[in-house]
Amino acid sequence: MAQVYISIGSNIDRENQIILAARALYSEFDNVLLSSVYECEPVGFSGENFYNLVAKVETSKSPEYIGALLKSLEKQHGRVDFSKKFSPRKMDLDILLYDDLVMDEPVQLPRDEIPLNAYVLQPLAELAPDDIHPVLQKSYQQIWQEYDKSLQYLTRVEFTWPEFR
C-alpha cells in the first residue's frame, strides 16, 4: 500500500467543502489521517481566506487514478475552470506525495509547491515530520523549520469534524 498525501483547500463555503472532501477521501481510501485545519490568505489573488489541511491515505491505486478522482471530486463540487491557477475555490484537491515517487506526468510528484507554501508545508510537517522529501532530501519538519514564516501567515482553526471520521 502506498502512502499518499493530499492537500485540501477551500475559500468558498469552506467549512462544508473541506468536510465533503474529507468524507470523500474516507469513502475512497484506507487509513485516512487528517492534519489540523489552517486558515490563510489567498496566494496570488485577493479574496476570502482559505481553509487548508493535508490528508494522509493508504492505497494501492495509481497516481493517475488518484489525480483523476480528485479532479472529478472538484468538478462534482462546482469547480469549472481548471486552467485558472490563482482564483477562488470551492474545493481544491492535489496529490502532494505518492511514497517517494518522482515524476512530472501525468501528475507532478512531489508537488513543487510543498516547500513554497506554508498552507501545504505546515500541515504536511504535522502529519509526516520525519519523512524525507524525495528530491530535497530533508525532512518535512526541517523544511518547515527553515521556511521563512513571514511569507505566509497561518492560523490553526479549532475545527469540529462530524462523525464520519
DSSP characters over the chain? -EEEEEEEEESSSHHHHHHHHHHHHHHHSEEEEE--EEEE--SSS-SSPEEEEEEEEEESS-HHHHHHHHHHHHHHTT---TT-SSS--S-EEEEEEETT--B-SSS-BS-TTTTT-HHHHHHHHHH-TT-B-TTT-SBHHHHHHHS-TTSS-EEEE-----TT-
List the CATH code of the domain at 2-113+152-157: 3.30.70.560
Instruction: Please write the tens of the pLDDT for every residue from 66-110.
Output: 999 999 999 888 766 554 565 677 899 999 999 999 999 988 999
pLDDT at 87: 63
> Is 0.85 surpassed by the pTM of this model?
yes
pLDDT in tens, 130-154: 999 999 999 999 999 999 999 888 9
Residue 83: predicted pLDDT: 46
Residue 156, pLDDT > 90, answer yes
- The pLDDT mean for the chain works out to 91
**Comparing C-alpha atoms, which of 115, 119, 113, 116 is closest to residue 155?**
119
